Amino acid sequence: MKNILITGASSGIGKQIAKKLRKKYKVINLDIQENTLEGIEFYKCDLSNKQQLLKTIKKIKKKFSSLYALINNAAIFSSKPLKEQELEQWEKIISVNLTAPYILSKEFSLLLEESFGHIINISSTRAFMSEKATEAYSASKGGITSLTHALAISLPNVKVNSISPGWINTDKNYIPTVEDNLQHPCKRVGTSNDIVDMVKFLLKNRGFITASNFVIDGGMTKKMIYV
């Protein structure tokens, strides 16, 4: 069974990816939140802490001698007016959303090259468009989209791609309104399974798909809106 490492697989999109992949792959979850899925190898780690991350990577390498895919999914979000934003929060968001994927990709690059494997970065449509008060998150997602094609050039034996989700509802207690659904050209809000479908597709990629970003947003970023 091939090994796949997913960051942030204790909740949200990451959890659904892990849930759907665990029958076919040995899934390793790297997250600060406790793991609740059975059949998952769990390592608790604060991705914003560089030293803790490097120590955890060392533990994983000691137990697993191969890696087929790295899915950089973990991210934190903040929305605060620009004048109220603190540098410390900016640095934490960048460290989790961008620096950690860089470190993980670098440290596992040899194993991924040996397996002719995959790096899948979960970006966001916020890499291309923004709401106000989201500077750090948008910057981090723009960065990870660019990091994707840079890694693909540096690692020709690894398929490196990113996925940019739009509105993906991960809250079981929230039911999208009619208006929520109809603002999307496909007439519905996205679900985690829409991202899972793309992940599965990329894991079957034979090698010609690399350095690419895939927007999964129900068509929203292509919809022209006049107010």
pLDDT (tens digit, 0 to 9) for every residue of the chain, 227 residues total? 999 999 999 999 999 999 999 999 999 999 999 999 999 999 999 999 999 999 999 999 999 999 999 999 999 999 999 999 999 999 999 999 999 999 999 999 999 999 999 999 999 999 999 999 999 999 999 999 999 999 999 999 999 999 999 999 999 899 999 999 999 999 999 999 999 999 999 999 999 999 999 999 999 999 988 86
Question: From CA 61, how far away is CA 148, in angstroms rounded?
Answer: 23
Q: Say how many residues make up the chain.
A: 227
Q: State which residues form the domain around 41.
A: 3-222
Catalytic residue of the set 43, 68, 137, 174: 137
What are the tokens at 55?
A: 């120590």
32 occurs within a structural domain? yes
Question: From CA 146, how far away is CA 155, in angstroms rounded?
Answer: 14
The total of other beta-carbon atoms located within 10 Å of residue 196's CB is 17
137 included as an active-site residue: yes
Residue type, 176: P
117 occurs within a structural domain? yes
| Domain CATH code at residue 41 | 3.40.50.720
CA angle 174, 162, 96 (to 5 degrees): 70
How many domains is the chain built from? 1
Phi, psi (5° rounding) for residue 95? -65, -40
153 occurs within a structural domain? yes
138 occurs within a structural domain? yes
119 occurs within a structural domain? yes
Burial class of residue 39 (count of CB atoms within 10 Å of its CB; 0-12, 13-18, 19+): exposed
227 occurs within a structural domain? no
89 occurs within a structural domain? yes
175 occurs within a structural domain? yes
